[in-house]
Chain A
Amino acid sequence: MTSPKLAVSALAALIAVKLTHLQALVLFALVISVAFGFLGRRQPKERIKYILWTLLLFLLVGVGIGWAMYPFSR
């Protein structure tokens, strides 16, 4: 294997991310909640409240929609 090809496959292996559905949902919800909290609120206490509330809603709605689709999954 030539060195550029080796470097490309090494980079691909380095950044490869393997997540389950739930892990992807939690990661997405967490990252976006924190970002929204920092953009939308200024005081640390308000930020934490907003982040927790948004995170909870993201997870509840995500899992809720998942269960709502369950009867049509097969």
Chain B
Amino acid sequence: MAEESTIHEPVQEPLSPPHNSRRETLALVVGVAGWLVPGLGHALMKMWGRAVICFLTVGVLVWVGAGMRGNLFTSRGNDAFDSLGYIADLGTGGFYWVARSLETNGPDVSHADGDYGTRFLATAGVFNLLAALHAYEAARGRKT
């Protein structure tokens, strides 16, 4: 069995603990940056195409959601669904406050437009969380 291992490609040495923890910290910073500013996590990893797409996707979804007067949930929710909606909306990071400032007339879910807008805003948040997680995993070297 020992001879068999000699014909294989040399196995990469595992990273030493200090290096590993530094990489973990960096990955965490990348993940948080990607959450706060959509696309920034990928930009820090020099994944420019993905960075631009993340920024534009979240930006368009927030703009359309706010433009359709979707409901932007706050921390003062009445039930579990409001709280879940708040978590989803908060996923947009800094764009949450952009959406709040864009919705000058407040939400209007009495029409289908407002209801769709609520979904657009929630999707923007959930997508941004997914993108931030992707950037975090890429920084850890587990995704390309």
Contact = CB atoms under 8 A, between A and B. Distances in A.
A38 B68 contact: no
Interface residues of A, number: 20
Interface string B101-115: 010110000001100
- The B interface, classified by DSSP as helix, strand, loop or mixed, is helix
Interface stretch (B5-13, B15-23, B47-55, B76-84): B47-55
Given A38-B49, A42-B144, A31 B61 contact: yes
Interface of A: 8-9, 11-12, 15-19, 21, 24, 27-28, 31-32, 34-35, 38-39, 42
Q: Which of A8, A18, A24, A39 has the largest number of chain B CB atoms within 10 A?
A: A39
Given A24-B68, A35-B54, A39-B50, 10 more contacts: A8-B104, A15-B63, A18-B113, A19-B68, A19-B116, A35-B53, A35-B127, A35-B131, A38-B49, A39-B53
Given A39-B50, A39-B130, A42-B144, A19 B113 contact: yes
Q: Which of A8, A17, A32 has the largest number of chain B CB atoms within 10 A?
A: A17
